[in-house]
Chains A and B, each alone.
Chain A
């Protein structure tokens, strides 16, 4: 799925510049975790992260794991420091009021696969 389609599906807002909605890459897999060490164990490309953990290490972790899309669930909002780091690393951040469970359910229905 493209970022713009995911945004619509989960009724999210894009935290970065709207320019990230123009990105055309398609995400095939999703992983959901609030434990960043588990995110760092992923061996999969084309993966997006769904999390309710909203701090600077969330962004650092996806930077290291080469993940280019994060969905911040449960109505959490990223701050300016996180946003700057996300922009530096070409990471798109979507914020949604939905729970992690609901986001995962919606993505799964649309054919986004689990990593394992």
Chain B
């Protein structure tokens, strides 16, 4: 099964609706609850990142019997130093993002701690592609 969502940069009201839809689908497919939790937490943090930092983007999710693969691609400023962005506490978030309860530099570390395979590629002033694989067994 494949799901695809457009994400609007700066739309904090709608942020999380894609992750919510994926959660609903995984529940319908009777995926184990602990697996669903780590998948949607990583996806939600990634979705928040797009809303917080990029002009827009898309989330594609492929669900198969043994794994869930998600690709989050955005158009935006990109990440100049990925290794810094992976450190807990490092953030370039705006005050608006902080008002929403995020932007403390926990997003990418939280994502990484929930995925089995994690890849991030970024080009400054173009955007970022994040790929995540979750094995269900």
User: A residues bordering B, Cβ < 8 Å?
Assistant: 34-38, 40-41, 53, 55-58, 60-61, 63-66, 81
In contact, A65 and B37 (Cβ under 8 angstroms): yes
**B103 CB, nearest partner CB in chain A, Å:** 8
Report how many A-B pairs have Cβ atoms within 8 Å: 66
Please give, as numbers and ranges, the residues of chain A lying within 8 Å of B113 by CB-CB distance: 41
- Indicate which residue in A34, A41, A56 contacts B110 across the interface (CB closer than 8 Å): A41
Known: A37-B45, A40-B44. A57 touches B100 (CB 8 A): yes
User: Does B79 sit within 8 A of A, measured CB to CB?
Assistant: no
Please give, as numbers and ranges, the residues of chain B lying within 8 Å of A63 by CB-CB distance: 16, 20, 23
Closest to A81 in B: B13
Report the bound CA distance from A61 to B99 in whole Å. 14
In contact, B101 and A66 (Cβ under 8 angstroms): no
The A contact surface, by secondary structure, is helix
Range class of the B interface residue count: 20 to 34
User: Does B104 sit within 8 A of A, measured CB to CB?
Assistant: yes
Please give, as numbers and ranges, the residues of chain A lying within 8 Å of B100 by CB-CB distance: 36, 55, 57
User: Does B12 sit within 8 A of A, measured CB to CB?
Assistant: yes
The 7 closest A-B pairs by CB, nearest first: A37-B106, A36-B101, A60-B16, A64-B44, A57-B100, A53-B101, A64-B40
Most buried by A among B12, B37, B101, B104: B101
